[in-house]
Structures are given as structure tokens and as C-alpha cells.
Amino acid sequence: MNNPGGSEQAQSKEKQAALKLLSADAVRERCSRIMAAAEAGKTPHFTWHEDKLDACADYVLGVMRKRFPDLKVPIHSRRRHFEAGGIDRWGRLVEQQGLSGPEHAAERARIGIDLTIPSVLLDAGAGASWEYYDGANHKGFSRSEGLGVASFDMFVAGAFSADKTTPLRSDAAALMQLADDDIERGFQVDANNPLVGVPGRTNLLRRLGAAARTNAAVFGAPARLGHLYDYLAARAVDGKIPASLLLETLLHALGPVWPGRLEIGGVDLGDCWKHPSAAADANDPTDGLVPFHKLTQWLAYSLLEPLADGGLEVTGLDRLTGLPEYRNGGLLLDFDVIRSRDANLYTQALSVDHPAIVEWRALTVIGLDRVAERIRVKLGLDADSLPLVRVLEGGTWTAGRKIAAEKRPGGAPPLNIVSDGTVF
């Protein structure tokens, strides 16, 4: 005999369990399971070496002091890439458009959000052969800086606006119409300048437009990404919103953006993957899953400055986690804090859902917390004065790039990750 009520109850249980994974707390909790297994010597692919952590922290601190001798470290944000080559492109744009006064604060925030969301979603590994030439400033940029400058120029040219007479917008209607040719043209892609994952990037922005259109509560109607500012401002208390609210808003609103990912109980889980060491409760429908939400957390960090432009302060930043990608994770591998059980792993092509990659990323999340804590102790600072978002910028990401350049030609990461342009 069928039991529709029982089926609905099971589906509701699945949905509630899945929704709990859409938070930074869930990222830390599930990654901590894998760290506990590693410290017990039970992880299948990597071993954890706490005794190597001080040398790693000292290296990061050296990079931080060289970049910021006064230790006034900016936040880890996409806006840093808009400053590639020492050029304040955002500041120039604000001045050119006459948007610098307090009376323009809200629209300045909306435009900053319109720029930042597509740019962050386009910020996955470019590949070693690609470069963007910034003709206005006669400079070439590769990797994240190149992707940042290219997406900035696309935005200013109105590539994401449905009305070309008001180019500084990102409208759902325009995003949904993007084609591979648009991305290739904007990023100067050709046979001699290949960019990894163009179809994946195009599809991501098209899905972004579709997600915005179906979420009028957050993005308005007609949907514009910048309306996220109005949604958050309406929920602010004394001009402040918690980081957890910002991230969870993004995770719920942008969940449908991620193609071909896990879905449980009708909930899109995005950057969430399976690993045996994360299993703890067979009665939990999400048992064995590890969320990272890397690009969404990178987006949350990158929205801090646009929101501040509109007078909104984001509090509780250390509730968010470090970003488990190849620079931060590569830093820990290159310092032997994380060590592969099988040397052949470093030469294999590994997909993002491979258990070894999931394991490495989980150890990276907890490892970054520990590096940050050691740096604070060395400097006599607390988490309020040196939050994780500044340690990342100071910091681990730059140190990861630097040590990679010292160890491998071209600064390639220590692991060979097969990217579709939507995770790494």
C-alpha cells in the first residue's frame, strides 16, 4: 500500500538535511571530520603533518610583512584583481561616472555588485597559456589578474546590460543571452591564446541570469544583480549584517547556477562532494558529503567592499572559511603540511570530484584556520584585528603562488586538476 505521507515526510527530511549544508558552519564541520581522520592516520590519500605548520606560517608572515610592512592588510577580494598593475580601475570608473558622492552610495553599491558577481563566477583557473592584454594601460595579465581585468572591461563595455545606454549593470536578460563567442571575444581567446573552460564559463553566466530571474525577492523584477544590495539593506540592523546571512543568501539564491552537481530533496548543493572519511551518521541523507562553497565564499568576501560603499558593514567575518583552491591548498602541499601517500598522485590528472581532491580541499580549510591562528600568535593580534579574510590576502594565497613559482616552472600547482571552469 502506497504511503504518500511517508514519502513526503522522507523528502522533507532530505530537504532539511540538505539545507543545513548551505552554510560556512557546515563546511568547517564536515572538513573537521576529514581532518580528524587524517590526524588519526586514516585518510586514504594524504597525511597531515602539524610539525610543518610553523615553517609554513613563518613563510606566509614573511610574504605579508613584505607586501604590507604596516600590517594594514586589505581584505581578500576580487577588487584586488581590478587593481592589477597598480591601477585603481574601480576608483577611476567611479570618478569618471560621477558616482563618488554620498548621494550615490546606494547606486555605487549596486554597480559594484553588478560587476563583482559575474567577475567572481568567471574566476576559475585560466590555464598556463592564456593572457589578457589591457590595451588602455598597455599591460598584459594572466591568471586571476587577467580574468579580473578582462571581466572588468567586459562589464564597462555593457556586456552584461540589457540596455546598452546604461552599460554599468548586470541584468538577467543579458546574462541569459551570452554565448561562447561573447566570452571568447571579451577574453581575447583564439588558437594562440586558449582559455580553459569557455563553455563552462558561458553556461555559468547564463544560469546566473536564469537564477536571478526566478528569484525576484532578492534580485527584483526585472532582475538585476545589484538589487542584492536593496535586499540586504532591508535586513540590516544599524547598518550591519552578519557574514552568515550574506553567504546563506548567496548559497540559496545562486544554488541553481552550478551545473551537474549534487541535489538532495530539491536543494542544489553546488560545490559539495563525497568522501568516505566524512561519513558519521548513516541516518543522515547527507552523510559522507563535504561542502566547500569556494566560489560563493570568494564572492561573499568580494562583496564586502561594494556593500561598504553602500553603507553596509558585514560582521562576523571569521564565520566564513578559507578558500580551498590550488594556491591555498598548494601552499600546504609545498610545505609538506599535507603529504600524498602516493607520489604518483602528483602526476595524475584528477577531476574535482576525485576523493583525493576532496580530501586535500577539506584539509586545506582546517589548515588555513590553523595557519591564521599561528600568525596571530606571532603578531600578538586577535581574530578581530586580523580576520581570516586578511590572512588570505596578506597572505596564504600570495604565498601559495610564490612557493609554486620557486618549486615549478611557470608556477603550476602541485596537483594536476582537470577544471571545467566552474570550481578551480
Range of the domain at 293: 11-418
Encode burial over 177-209: b for 16+ CB neighbours within 10 A, e otherwise: ebeeebbbebbbbeeeeebbbbebbbbbbbbbb
Looking at the domain assignment, is residue 116 inside a domain? Answer: yes
Q: Would you say residue 238 lies in a domain?
A: yes
Question: Is 3 part of any domain?
Answer: no
Residue 1 forms part of a structural domain: no
C-alpha cell of 197?
A: 573552460
Report helix angle 24-39 to 243-254, nearest 10. 100
Q: Is 339 within 8 Å of 271 (Cβ atoms)?
A: no
- Using the structure block, give the residue that is written with the C-alpha cell 546574462: 175
Structural domain includes residue 6? no
* Backbone angle region of 81, left / alpha / beta, with phi > 0 → left and psi within -120 to 50 → alpha: alpha
Contact yes or no for 313/240 (Cβ under 8 A)? yes
Domain count along the chain: 1
Nearest to 368 by CA among 76, 137, 105: 76
Residue 223 forms part of a structural domain? yes
Q: Is residue 41 part of a domain?
A: yes
Residue 2 lies in a domain: no
Question: pLDDT per position in the chain (424 positions), as tens?
Answer: 455 555 666 678 899 999 999 999 999 999 999 999 999 999 999 999 999 999 999 999 999 999 999 999 999 999 999 999 999 999 999 999 999 999 999 999 999 999 999 999 998 777 888 999 999 999 999 988 999 999 999 999 999 999 989 999 999 999 999 999 999 999 999 999 999 889 989 999 999 999 999 999 999 999 999 999 999 999 999 999 999 999 999 999 998 898 778 999 999 999 999 999 999 998 999 999 999 999 899 999 999 999 999 999 999 999 999 999 999 999 999 999 999 999 999 999 999 999 999 999 999 999 999 999 999 999 999 999 999 999 999 999 999 999 999 999 888 899 998 876 667 6
Amino acid at 420: D
C-alpha cell at position 334: 609545498
Measured distance CA(297)–CA(112) in Å, rounded: 17
